[in-house]
Amino acid sequence: MSIAHNQLRLARELWARLQPLDRSVPHRLQALLADRRFGSRDRRLYRELLFTAMRLARALATLAPGDEVAWAALLAAHCADTRETEAFRATYSRPDIGHSAPAPLSLLPPWFASEHDPALPVPPAEIAAALLARAPVWVRLQTDSPDDILAEWSARGWFSTSHPALPEARRLPPETKATDCETYQKGHYEIQDLGSQAILVALDLPARSPGPRWLDACAGAGGKTLQLARLLGPSARIDATDIRPAALAELRARAARAGLGARIRTLPRPDPAARYDGVLVDAPCSGSGTWRRSPHLMACTTEADLASAARMQAEILRASAVAVRPGGLLVYATCSVARTENRAVAEAFLAGHPGVFDEEPISRDLGFPRLAPAGPGLAITPGPQDNDGFYVAAFRRCG
């Protein structure tokens, strides 16, 4: 049996064992690839083949169960061209099968097109194609002197590109092990997608913040908390809350590594009596904007999930609004491209708080398309800038 034929046999075996595609896939995939049969190159190969299969899952499901040729041809046509996939691609590439690429929208959930915001001057098929692409590694610099970072990357043969509108954002090739670097361990940069970085930069902080005291109400492991602390400068005092103790522990470690520990305090829940200059609600959501990194979510996210997430997001916004002092900012963000979780939640919040909160216009669109006609917030759409999908809206308390 040739190397490629053995690779196909193992890929199909792993694919069968990975079913069903639900939210436990990342954990189960990690366990499957921990098999002692696999070396590091094997793990890279099967991870790439399985991620490709997740992106193509709807097309693969239409093939006859025993049609290994068509199954392999689709994967060979659409997986990344790497040293690890070379034998597989050379053996199974079939122009008559693999190059008849499925339409991007046909690979996404049926509800996707109806959740596309008609106010966006970008067709849903274009966003679908971007969500099916491989994601690069984006990092956010946490130093004003990145020479040591660039020197270490260069020594490893890594080439990075900077973003014209976000000078602290640097793009590295997919699968780059950026956390292995000494400069990362020193806190000189963090892994953070370009779209995630754009959320706070679009608000033009600190110029439009009424003060340095902020609450990060859904901090998680703190990527945006660290970015906020750096944007607001040495006077920043940020309370970061999350219901998960492990996430807050990771945030404290990251803040200490970055030298930002004095600016950030972690709490299990907000102080009900505290009032802040700004409150960031980076709300739990469907994660549809992250499908290129988490393609398994395409198979298990339903319209009911979107509706449930929107109800939770609205409740978190209402609860967080009371912590904003007069003149302060309330920022709502998701990593979703679904209208139900984005503009619909923002509009409902404004409608439910007349005379209490006003829409705060987004200061910088950073090259992302504005909603037309104008609506609250900015859709940070996947596409030419090679970012995941996000949404951000801001509200200022009256008085």
Active-site residue, selected from the candidate residues 285, 300, 335, 398: 335
Compute how many other C-beta atoms are within 10 angstroms of the C-beta atom of residue 201. Answer: 22
- Does the annotation count 335 as an active-site position? yes
Other CB atoms within a 10 A radius of the CB of residue 64 amount to 8
Q: Percent of the chain, pLDDT > 70?
A: 98
Q: Tell me the Cα Rg of the chain.
A: 22
3 state DSSP class of 382: coil
- Give the C-alpha separation, 300 to 20, whole Å: 9
Q: Give per-residue pLDDT as tens, 104-142.
A: 999 999 999 999 999 999 999 999 999 999 999 999 999
Point out which residues pair with 214 in neighbouring strands.
238, 278
CA distance linking residue 76 with residue 58, whole number of Å: 16
Chain segment 322-337, per-residue pLDDT in tens: 999 999 999 999 999 9
Average pLDDT, the chain: 95
165: exposed, middle or buried (Cβ count in 10 Å: 0-12, 13-18, 19+): middle
- What pTM, to 2 d.p., does this model score? 0.95
Residues with Cβ within 8 Å of residue 149, at least 6 apart in sequence: 141, 143, 181, 183, 188, 189
Map residue 306 onto helix, strand or coil: helix
Q: Is the pLDDT of residue 368 over 70?
A: yes
Structural domains in the chain plus CATH codes: 3-102 (no CATH), 137-192 (3.30.70.1170), 196-217+270-397 (3.40.50.150)
- Predicted confidence band at 97 (pLDDT cuts at 50, 70, 90)? low
Q: Return the DSSP state at 134.
A: P
Strand partners, 276: 324
